[in-house]
Amino acid sequence: MNFRYRLMQFMSGRYGTDETFFVIFIIAVILSALNIFLRFVSLGLYAVIQLIVYALIIFAIFRVFSRNTEKRRKENYWVREKLGFLKRKKDFHDQKKADVMHIYKKCPACKAVLRLPRRIGVHTTVCPKCGKEFTVKVKK
């Protein structure tokens, strides 16, 4: 029986690595790097951060070997959702900046963001979401 087969047998039914594993790993690396400098600033804080790093590493390893795959999957979904949310927000911001043909205005009644053609002057527009009419000033 070779090592790879034994490892596969050991890992069967266990969770393994996922995005959350790498996120925890990266956080641990960043904190460790930070601690190189903190050591000279505050030994108390250094000890606390070092404990957090150990706790993160233990938690990451515990997740890899965990048999409670359902719970691990839910954790990973939560992490992905958080990371995905940040990414989407940035994409929308970039899109707004690149879009010179339109302006983005918030409806004063329902706060929905409306995309309107960039025509200089004062216009009245009707919110497609709540039907409220409001004026929009476009300077440039």
What is the contact surface with Zn ion in residues (CB under 5 A)?
Answer: 107, 109-110, 112, 127, 129-130, 132
How far apart, in whole angstroms, are the C-alpha atoms of residue 105 and residue 91? Answer: 18
How far apart, in whole angstroms, are the C-alpha atoms of residue 62 and residue 5? Answer: 21
Taking Cα atoms as reference points, which of 84, 92, 113, 116 lies closest to residue 102? 116
**Comparison of 41 and 109: residue with beta carbon closer to Zn ion:** 109
Q: Give least dist CB 124 to Zn ion, A.
A: 14
**Comparison of 84 and 108: residue with beta carbon closer to Zn ion:** 108
**Comparison of 43 and 130: residue with beta carbon closer to Zn ion:** 130
Q: Give least dist CB 119 to Zn ion, A.
A: 20
Rounded to a whole number of angstroms, the CA Rg of the chain reads 25
